[in-house]
Amino acid sequence: MSKTEEQMRYEFYELAQMPCCGGERGFYNGPRGGACTNIMCGHCGATFNIGPREFIQQIGEPDAEALAKVQASSTGAPA
């Protein structure tokens, strides 16, 4: 979780990519409460809390094996 909230917000909302792995934005909705929703990255499994006004906070780390596969596929290297 080394990226700042500003960096994650830019990648997620402006570039339409997942800030955890750089994959095309794709996620599963999770529980919600109040104005926020938890989501899980469909590529690497990292979890985030997102809300109105472009709020995003990483709440769980990606799965190391899934992350390696995503990163290898983006570089063309074998996983």
The model's pTM is 0.78
Q: What is the pLDDT of residues 13-58, one digit of tens each?
A: 999 999 988 888 889 999 998 899 999 999 899 999 999 888 999 9
Q: Pick the residue with more confidence: 77 or 3?
A: 3
Task: Name the residue among 30, 79, 35, 39 with its Cα closest to residue 53.
Answer: 35
Say if residues 56 and 43 touch (Cβ distance below 8 Å): no
| Confidence (pLDDT) at 79 | 47
Residue 18 buriedness (CB in 10 A; 0-12 / 13-18 / 19+): buried
- CA 72 – CA 37 distance, rounded (Å): 29
- CA 32 – CA 13 distance, rounded (Å): 19
**pLDDT above 70 for 77:** no
Q: Pick the residue with more confidence: 71 or 24?
A: 24
